[in-house]
A and B are shown apart, each in its own frame.
Chain A
């Protein structure tokens, strides 16, 4: 059904990702699909890493730890951005092509009134790609 699952990862907010990561790992096992974790970082020091290289190392370690036991070691890919908050959608859309993913699994929040002016990333990505997009919402109580 699916050959390659892409999972955008925000290393600064791993707690919010947990459910999406589990779903992605389960689907990868179920379909025997390869996993690819995508991270976006800045040239400037951030909460996660003080240099882009450090970020790469961390994402690599993360990917290794989050390998589903399906025989596929996950890949990891880092994108550099001047303004990740604004450019995230475009980067992820590009990443889908680069990776050749046919399924994107990503965490998202519940719809809010702000979405009209600043749409959530997942919705925008679904609009601009041919891959399937699975938006994983956290528990309602947690929102």
Chain B
């Protein structure tokens, strides 16, 4: 409705889509203006608007990395393996301990009165409906990994548990079984294998995301600081976050995000290639991988240009529907009753083994804790600025408690169900004598499991499509996030910059696959995550400080989603 303007002393104002009033929040008093350090220009008719230092340092180092990895693959592989070896031996306890701290912080906040604080001010209302919100959380958070490891990881841990433990000459265990293993006991091996898998896909990863996301959301929506990682450290560094300490934080975030993303993209490409090879007999060599990554990056660029609402949001919803169909298919035609009973059994064994599996000290199962858990923690943490910022962007208007429950507990439940459906079905096949999946390469195990169920061609094809769509979603939302960080927190930086980052992500994924394959991906993810873990620990303190200075809602009221 238009108001008649003629006699008004001030211009009458009408807002659309802005829920007003937003209620009490506690803005941080700073003179910094977002984008004040940015470099704006229009070379060759292309608008750019970037944070000079962050963009220059991170993009040059990343380009250097790509060139060196492609030029000297052998040396690069040696360096990757060296770094991974060192971190596995010396930093495993640190990764495990930090991850536990994140989980405890989130659970504590859910229960504490701070949970009543609302993101975006006391009266803020949510920007997205619950369904879209949740679809985006999930597609961004795990996506490709669910496809890659859904069958492969439970099978692997089941197998190693069944084989039991072996000691090397130096008294260190050489087997890959988790904890005490379960030699020869199929039932116990199933339970342990599932618990060991769920450790990596439930509370811990989502707690890491939740910490980053909550910190970004609070410091951006409630404190009025730019949506970039440096803002989290305002309670610790004060105005210094606008200088080099802040630049370094953001550069580390760009690195971590890019390499975490490239790891996932690499996995996705490997799996899509082996799926295509299996279904259509297309070669799965380097050429296919490069073509796949190039093609998918091109599609992702289309989605990047289309924007959040028309790109990522729609893709995430497609993902959700396809993943749900595949899941339901496996549940219905697979061992339905077993899956449902196992779901509860798995929750029990996960919670029962959790204290032991997440224990950072004096672990005897060195290969499992160092080779698997450390890799995952590094991967999740290196990818947490990405998922975290993405979650933060779409989470305005939720209360801290609702936010943490939705970001931590609901995805955990879905993960457990997903792994139960895929893992239990696969283990059940093995226990009935089917060796196809166990003996296949990791990327192929999903398709081998599906081959034992009816309609193999169709479900395998849906599987490949899912991997590809997850891939596109990640590449799209990843470019958005990296661009925001490299533009000093500007959400509305020009589009060509997003395209630039989308291309870089594809290039890094190709460079890593050619210069060392999956091992290189894992090594880089684990290394990139380490410095960021330190930052996140400091971030935990900042979150508490930030929340303590917020006005609290008198009584908990649940917002109504639009």
How far apart are A112's CB and chain B's nearest CB, in angstroms? 3
Contact, CB under 8 Å: A114 / B307: no
Q: How far is the CA of A41 from the CA of B5 in the complex (A)?
A: 23
A18 in the interface (beta carbon within 8 A): no
> Which of A19-27, A66-74, A122-130 participates in binding chain B?
A66-74
A118 in the interface (beta carbon within 8 A): yes
Known: A80-B18, A87-B309. A60 touches B489 (CB 8 A): no
Q: How far is the CA of A44 from the CA of B395 in the complex (A)?
A: 11
Option from B5, B36, B307, B490 in Cβ contact (under 8 Å) with A46: B490
Q: Which residue of A lies closest to B216 (CB)?
A: A44
Residues of chain A contacted by B552 (CB below 8 angstroms): none
Residues of chain B contacted by A74 (CB below 8 angstroms): 5, 11
A14 in the interface (beta carbon within 8 A): no
How far apart are B132's CB and chain A's nearest CB, in angstroms? 11
> Which of B341-349, B493-501, B537-545 participates in binding chain A?
B493-501
Residues of chain A contacted by B306 (CB below 8 angstroms): 86
Task: Give 10 nearest A-B pairs by CB, closest first.
Answer: A86-B307, A112-B45, A50-B224, A80-B17, A63-B11, A83-B308, A47-B35, A83-B307, A78-B15, A80-B18
Residues of chain A contacted by B120 (CB below 8 angstroms): 43
Residues 95 to 126 of chain A near chain B (Cβ within 8 Å): 95, 98-100, 112-114, 117-118
Contact, CB under 8 Å: B490 / A47: yes
In which size bucket is the chain A interface?
35 or more
Query: Which secondary structure characterizes the binding site on chain A?
Result: mixed
Contact, CB under 8 Å: B20 / A56: yes
Q: In this complex, which of A67, A72, A81, A100 has the most chain B Cβ atoms within 10 angstroms of its Cβ?
A: A81
Contact, CB under 8 Å: A82 / B309: yes
Chain B window 36-53, contacts with chain A (Cβ cutoff 8 Å), 1 for yes, 0 for no: 100000000110000000
Query: Which secondary structure characterizes the binding site on chain B?
Result: loop
A8 in the interface (beta carbon within 8 A): no
Q: How far is the CA of A44 from the CA of B308 in the complex (A)?
A: 14
Show the binding face of A for B, using Cβ within 8 Å.
Answer: 12, 34, 37, 41-47, 50-53, 56, 59-60, 63-64, 67, 71-87, 95, 98-100, 112-114, 117-118
How far apart are B77's CB and chain A's nearest CB, in angstroms? 38
Q: In this complex, which of A46, A67, A71, A83 has the most chain B Cβ atoms within 10 angstroms of its Cβ?
A: A83
How far apart are B179's CB and chain A's nearest CB, in angstroms? 44
Option from B7, B128, B220, B491 in Cβ contact (under 8 Å) with A83: B491
Option from A44, A85, A118 in Cβ contact (under 8 Å) with B221: A44
Contact, CB under 8 Å: A118 / B496: yes
How far apart are B117's CB and chain A's nearest CB, in angstroms? 16
How far apart are A47's CB and chain B's nearest CB, in angstroms? 4
How far apart are B1's CB and chain A's nearest CB, in angstroms? 9
How far apart are A122's CB and chain B's nearest CB, in angstroms? 15
Residues 289 to 303 of chain B near chain A (Cβ within 8 Å): none
In which size bucket is the chain B interface?
35 or more
Option from A56, A71, A75, A84 in Cβ contact (under 8 Å) with B491: A84
Known: A56-B15, A79-B16. A44 touches B22 (CB 8 A): no
How far apart are A53's CB and chain B's nearest CB, in angstroms? 6
How far apart are B214's CB and chain A's nearest CB, in angstroms? 15
Contact, CB under 8 Å: A87 / B307: yes
Q: How far is the CA of A117 from the CA of B20 in the complex (A)?
A: 37
Contact, CB under 8 Å: B227 / A113: no
Option from A47, A50, A64 in Cβ contact (under 8 Å) with B10: A64
B127 in the interface (beta carbon within 8 A): yes
Q: How far is the CA of A77 from the CA of B2 in the complex (A)?
A: 10
Residues of chain A contacted by B496 (CB below 8 angstroms): 114, 118
Q: In this complex, which of A43, A78, A79, A83 has the most chain B Cβ atoms within 10 angstroms of its Cβ?
A: A43
9 contacts between A and B (CB under 8 A): A42-B492, A44-B393, A46-B491, A56-B13, A72-B6, A73-B7, A75-B13, A80-B17, A114-B46
Q: In this complex, which of B46, B310, B311, B492 has the most chain A Cβ atoms within 10 angstroms of its Cβ?
A: B492
Residues of chain B contacted by A71 (CB below 8 angstroms): 6
B396 in the interface (beta carbon within 8 A): yes
Contact, CB under 8 Å: B11 / A45: no
Residues of chain A contacted by B492 (CB below 8 angstroms): 12, 42, 46, 84-85
Option from A47, A53, A63, A83 in Cβ contact (under 8 Å) with B34: A47
Sample of 9 more A-B contacts, CB < 8 Å, known A47-B490, A85-B495, A100-B2: A43-B120, A50-B27, A50-B225, A51-B224, A56-B20, A73-B12, A83-B309, A86-B311, A87-B309
Contact, CB under 8 Å: A51 / B5: no
How far apart are B87's CB and chain A's nearest CB, in angstroms? 34
B305 in the interface (beta carbon within 8 A): yes
Q: In this complex, which of B6, B16, B224, B306 has the most chain A Cβ atoms within 10 angstroms of its Cβ?
A: B16
Known: A75-B5, A80-B15. A45 touches B307 (CB 8 A): no
